[in-house]
């Protein structure tokens, strides 16, 4: 399938992050027990005119609910398309998941901070520990005006210090904090902070609907998952699965919403 030229650089890996052959990956997915398994899906754009936003959400929820083990789901920004009045409605779709879920705010989720907390029950910057003890940090990167913003470095610093004893920490922020994609922004302080913490296993982005690969910065993997809604981007809708195996090894792979085809995989 033809991809845009800039996507080619998303296939370069450091020695710490390896592409997994799909035949071997299939065996790993099916046979190895998991300490933790979660899903990331981005850019549903609920309410965008001239798109089948209800259909795409129903199909994604159906696909996730058909998975055998999902410990939690993160919807990584652009939950709705510009109109925050759709947020309670999209929440009803998320509530039909069998698994717990969490959300980050994207540039199209143009809602005031107080209202965001009223709807979701936590602030736009949030953290928690998963069932296996892994740390999860959710960062905001926009505001009511839809501006592209760097993540809150003091908040991230405090949470990374708080979670420093854990073996695995995962960070979610909708907009890439580096300008290596067309729609990323340059946030050197945040990138530097992440690089200093060895237990940050991966950072996850949405926003770029036509990016579904991986980039490495100072040994840290930054991953995209394409999109499952909206009116542009890859011609297929996707979500990303992340698994921590019993031996502590972490793998991730991209799946199509339509039929669950595994498109690529990486060992983190």
Residue 157 has pLDDT above 80, yes or no: yes
Residue pointed to by tokens 């995989």 = 265
121, pLDDT greater than 80? yes
pLDDT of residue 131: 96
CA nearest neighbour of 189 among 216, 161, 149: 149
As a whole number of Å, the end-to-end CA separation of the chain is: 25
Please write the tens of the pLDDT for every residue from 91-109: 999 999 999 999 999 999 9
Q: Which CATH number is 141's domain given?
A: 3.60.21.10
Confidence at residue 15, expressed as pLDDT on a 0 to 100 scale: 39
pLDDT at 170 over 70: yes
pLDDT at 2 exceeding the cut of 50 = no
Q: Is the per-residue pLDDT at 4 higher than 50?
A: no
- Taking alpha carbons only, the member of 72, 80, 140 closest to residue 109 is 80
Instruction: Please write the tens of the pLDDT for every residue from 25-63.
Output: 766 666 789 999 999 999 999 999 999 999 999 999 999
Binned at pLDDT 50, 70 and 90, residue 17 comes out as: low
Evaluate if residue 5 carries a pLDDT over 70: no
pLDDT score, position 28:
62
Tell me, what's the pLDDT at 68?
92
- DSSP letters, the chain, are ----GGGGGGG---TTSEEPPHHHHHHHHHHS-EEEEEEEE----BT-TTS-HHHHHHHHHHHHHTSS--SEEEEES--BSS-GGGHHHHHHHHTT-SS-EEEE--TT----HHHHHHHHSS-SSEEEE-TTS-EEEEE----TT-------HHHHHHHHHHTTTSS-EEEEESS-SSTTSTT----HHHHHHHHT-TTEEEEEE-S-TT--SEEEETTEEEEE---SSSSSS-SS-EEEEEEEETTS-EEEEEEETTT--EEEEEE-
- Count structural domains, the chain: 1
Residue 5 lies in a domain: no
Residue 15 domain-assigned? yes
- 98 within domain boundaries: yes
Average pLDDT, the chain: 92
Q: Is the pLDDT of residue 215 over 50?
A: yes
Q: Is residue 2 part of a domain?
A: no
**Structure confidence at residue 18 as a pLDDT band (50, 70, 90):** confident
Percent of all residues in the chain with a pLDDT value above 90, rounded to a whole number:
88
Within a domain: 36? yes
Query: Is residue 11 scored above 50 in pLDDT?
Result: no
- Domain annotation covers residue 117: yes
- Averaged pLDDT, 152-170: 98
Quote the pLDDT of residue 176.
98
What's the pLDDT at 7? 39
Domain span including residue 188? 10-267
- Domain assignment present for 178: yes
Mean pLDDT score, 137-150: 98
Gap between the Cα atoms of 75 and 79, Å rounded: 7
18-25 long-range contacts (CB < 8 A, ≥24 apart) are 18/266, 18/267, 19/264, 19/265, 19/266, 20/251, 20/253, 20/265, 20/266, 20/267, 22/262, 22/264, 22/265, 25/251, 25/253, 25/262, 25/265
């Amino acid at each position: 399938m033809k991809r845009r030229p800039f996507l080619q650089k998303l296939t370069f890996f450091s020695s710490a992050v390896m592409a997994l052959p799909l035949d071997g990956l299939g065996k790993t997915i099916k046979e190895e027990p998991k300490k933790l398994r979660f899903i990331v899906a981005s850019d549903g754009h609920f309410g965008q005119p001239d798109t089948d936003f209800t259909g795409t959400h129903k199909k994604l929820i159906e696909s996730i609910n058909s998975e055998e083990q999902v410990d939690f789901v993160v919807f990584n920004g652009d939950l709705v398309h510009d109109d925050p009045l759709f947020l309670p409605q999209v929440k009803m779709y998320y509530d039909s998941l069998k698994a717990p879920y969490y959300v980050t705010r994207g540039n199209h989720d143009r809602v005031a901070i107080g209202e965001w907390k009223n709807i979701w029950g936590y602030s736009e910057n949030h953290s928690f520990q998963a069932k296996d003890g892994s740390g999860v940090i959710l960062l905001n990167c926009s505001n009511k005006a839809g501006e592209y913003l760097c993540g809150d470095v003091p908040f991230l610093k405090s949470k990374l210090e708080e979670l420093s004893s854990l073996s695995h920490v995962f960070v979610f922020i909708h907009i890439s904090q580096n300008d290596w994609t067309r729609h990323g922004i340059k946030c050197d302080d945040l990138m530097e902070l992440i690089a200093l913490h060895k237990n940050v296993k991966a950072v996850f982005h949405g926003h770029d609907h036509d990016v579904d690969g991986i980039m490495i910065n100072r040994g840290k993997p930054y991953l995209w998952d394409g999109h499952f809604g909206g009116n542009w981007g890859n011609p297929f809708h996707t979500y990303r699965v992340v698994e921590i195996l019993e031996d502590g090894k972490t793998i991730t792979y991209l799946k199509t919403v339509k039929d669950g085809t595994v498109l690529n995989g990486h060992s983190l």
